[in-house]
Amino acid sequence: MYLTKRDNGYRFQRRIPKTLESILGSSPIRIHLGHLSACKAKLASRLLASHSDRLFLDLIRNRNQSMPDTTDPRDALIAELRAQMAASIEETRLALESADQIIQLQDRLHIEEMEKQANEITKAAMERELGLRQELKRVHTSYLDTQATVLDVLNKAKAQRATPSIELVSTKLDAFEERFAALHTAVEANLDGGYVRPLMSVALDEWHNEIRMKQGIKEKKTDTDYSRLQDFIEFAGDRPVNKYKFFDFQKFKNLLAWVPSNYSKIPALRGMTREEAAEYNRNLPPDDRLETLSMTTIESNYFSPLQVFFQDIAAQHDFKSPLTDVKVRLPRFTKGKKTRRPFSVEELNKWFPIAAKAQRAEMKWIPLLGAVLGARVGELVPLQGKDIYQVEGGVWVIDLTTDLIDDQGDAEGRQLKNESSRRVIALPDFIGRTGFIDYVKTRRPEDYMFPACFYHGKERVKDPAGAASKRLNAQLKKVGIHREIETTFHSTRHTAVDFH
């Protein structure tokens, strides 16, 4: 709002209030910021705007006081703003240096902790190996003792020309066999991955309920990961978590490369298992084969959860994850990754007139807000009346930094993808000319901006953002500009980046 860009970099410009024109003149205050990034220039502009507000207020309060003839208020104000800018730059530099030091310290502590854990695991393994060696030595000594005893009995019997004591020999041999059997069991267990850990289904439920669901991850994501891990159990069998081998995962990935996308919704495949659907697709003529899962889907939706699960469970139950230090490869024929692309101006010109005629508020306004602001559906759907307001200078903003208000009037945490998503977004002036601000003014602070997203009839929708996303993509299909993965509603984020 106070920022302009020229060939020589960004410039801060601020209009002089009417009440101060007699002191400072009517020409705007202008301060050259130089060649900064857009993000840094916006930050500097906000800092200077805030500081100039304070200086203007001080002048208004003190304008009746006499000033030295040699003091030019305008020059003094500009000098103060430049000094503030320089101080801010220095503070930022010091803060970044401190942050780097903190990060280095955290990295060092993390490395030390990892080394400590590795040493503890190595120590435990060496202690187990030492125990086996000692047990083997004891059994060997017992064997030698038994052998010496038997020979001694036989020699004595031979010297006395008598029959050796069968009971004595049998007792010694039984003791030896028991020790040897115990050692054999211990060695077999160690070679087979150690003692048996919990079944994967049991460990999965514990991990899902006690760890995953309490990490602030969206329920839709945790539920999806849980389902994908159950898919692996269905394929490889429900075994103790330390009994899975590399080939179990490689065969699973080979299978997924043949599985048709959304195969459970295809009439010809309904009721088939994943293996049966993959086999069906594999046996079709090449030109008739069904669209399969992409490499991105296989890696992110199936194998990423497997990696995280086995990493956590291996640490909890003291065994080496079967996915450590191995590479599970995708078959060469796996469908490649499609890159999402922004909408063209021609496509937007087809879409916006259709959206503008929509009856539902989210179908009317979210396409425009997504394409201009680059905001996600999950950020726009929960917006409430209090989240859109006007700031100093007349600019309207969307505020994603505060909590929401639930149906009982209590504070409810705003679910965002990551911490950087917690931000304030300025609305361009032309948004007001579309009628959106007029619509905003009809909503009370606690009202949802797009209430229809939260209900299907009288039933509360479990995933309002997901349902809205499906409707928006259906709108794109109606317009004729939807392409799977390449141009979906999420492409508006790429569109907004191109516009800026």
In tens, the pLDDT along 417-467 reads 778 888 899 999 888 899 999 999 999 999 999 999 998 888 888 889 888
Least confident of 31-45, 103-117, 262-276, 434-448: 103-117
Last residue of a domain, one of 172, 191, 210: 191
Which amino acid is it at 42? K
Nearest to 298 by CA among 345, 265, 250: 250
291 or 239, greater pLDDT: 239
Whether 230 is in a domain gets the answer: no
Whether 161 is in a domain gets the answer: yes
Rounded to a whole number of angstroms, the distance between the first and last alpha carbons of the chain is 15
Last residue of a domain, one of 174, 191, 208: 191
This prediction has a pTM of 0.45
How buried is 438 (Cβ within 10 angstroms: 0-12 exposed, 13-18 middle, 19+ buried)? Answer: exposed
- Mean pLDDT in the chain? 79
How buried is 243 (Cβ within 10 angstroms: 0-12 exposed, 13-18 middle, 19+ buried)? Answer: middle
pLDDT value of residue 459: 87
Domain of 390, CATH number, reads 1.10.443
Rounded to an integer, what distance in angstroms lies between the CA atom of residue 500 and that of residue 491? 15
pLDDT value of residue 191: 47
Q: Are strands 455-456 and 459-460 parallel, antiparallel or unpaired?
A: antiparallel
Whether 427 is in a domain gets the answer: yes
Nearest to 15 by CA among 332, 370, 368, 393: 393
pLDDT tens per residue across span 106-131: 556 655 665 666 566 556 656 766 66
**By the 8 A CB rule, do 221 and 260 touch?**
no
List Cα–Cα distances, 175 to 106, 135, 277, 408, 436, in angstroms: 56, 14, 57, 74, 89
For residue 144, pLDDT beyond 80: no
Whether 468 is in a domain gets the answer: yes
Q: Which domain holds residue 130?
A: 98-191
For residue 330, pLDDT beyond 50: yes
Whether 110 is in a domain gets the answer: yes
Give percent of the chain with pLDDT exceeding 70. Answer: 73
What is the mean predicted confidence (pLDDT) over 323-344?
76
pLDDT tens per residue across span 347-378: 889 999 999 999 999 999 999 998 888 888 89
Overall domain count for the chain: 2
What is the mean predicted confidence (pLDDT) over 86-96?
63
pLDDT value of residue 310: 94
pLDDT value of residue 311: 93
What is the mean predicted confidence (pLDDT) over 211-236?
90
Last residue of a domain, one of 191, 221, 236: 191
Taking CA 232 as the corner, what is the angle to CA 231 and CA 237, rounded to the nearest 5 degrees?
110
For residue 260, pLDDT beyond 70: yes
Whether 244 is in a domain gets the answer: no
Whether 159 is in a domain gets the answer: yes
Q: Is the dihedral of CA 74, 75, 77, 78 positive or negative?
A: positive
399 or 177, greater pLDDT: 399
Whether 69 is in a domain gets the answer: no
For residue 286, pLDDT beyond 70: yes
